[in-house]
Amino acid sequence: MIKERLLRFSGAGASCVSILGSYQLCHSICMALISILAIVGVTVVGMPLFFLTKLATPFWIFAIILFSILLILKIKGMGCITNNSLLFNGGLLITGVPFLQDYYLFLWIIGGMFIICSIISYFLNRSNKC
C-alpha cells in the first residue's frame, strides 16, 4: 500500500516537473537524431526537428478546444473530471501559450499559481477523506 502510494506520488511529481524540462527533452531528441544521421554518414547542421516549433500553435489551439469541450461537459454535469484536474490543466495551458512570448514570465506565474492551487487543493481534500 505504501509502495503503491510512493510510486503514484513519484509519477505525479515527475509529470509535473516534465514541463520544466520540455526544452531539454526536445533538444536531446534533436541531438540523438543528428548523432544517428552522423553515424549513417549524413551531416546535419542546425536542428533537424525545428519544424515542430511551427506546430506548437496548432497543437495548443487544439488543446484549448478539447479543454473547452471538457469544461462545457463538466458544467452541464456530464463530465467526469475533477475540479483539481481542470484547474491543473488550465494552468498548463496558460503556461504554454506559444504566441505571447513577450509575456511568458507573467503567464508562467499565473499558470503556476493555478497549478500550485490545484495541487494544494488535491492534498487538502485527500487528507480530509482519510
Total Cβ atoms within 10 A of residue 79: 15
pTM: 0.57
Do the Cβ atoms of 60 and 97 come closer than 8 Å? yes
Beta-carbon contacts of 111 under 8 Å, excluding residues fewer than 6 positions away, are 90, 91, 92, 93, 94, 95, 96
Rounded-to-integer distance, Cα 83 and Cα 86, Å = 5
Tens of pLDDT along 63-79? 888 888 888 888 888 76
Share of the chain above pLDDT 90, in %: 5
**Domain locations in the chain?**
1-48, 54-130
